[in-house]
Amino acid sequence: MKKTRYRILQYICENPGISLLELSNEVEVTKSVVSVYLKDFEKDGLILKYSSTGRRIKIHPTAKAIKKYTKIKLLNICEI
């Protein structure tokens, strides 16, 4: 689970504005599983969600998320 959480954060940080569907396809887990992680990330202040057109939500990392991702990447730790 920790590895999945890291992979989701990684894709959000490396692809700001990614959609839920794109994210789900990239990390190869269902949209419902990704949604659970996104709720946690949002609660922890790691992401912001924006609706640009209609119902399509774009997911963006916060400065806190980028800082955390950079630290983990540098330390090569897959635990958030």
pLDDT in tens, the chain (80 residues): 488 999 999 999 999 999 999 999 999 999 999 999 999 999 999 999 988 677 788 999 999 999 999 888 887 655 54
CA distance 56 to 53: 6
pTM across the whole model: 0.85
CA distance 75 to 60: 23
CA distance 8 to 78: 11
Residue 21's nearest CA partner among 9, 13, 32, 6 is 32
Distance of CA 5 to the CA centre of its chain: 8
pLDDT at 78: 54
pLDDT at 66: 94
pLDDT at 1: 41
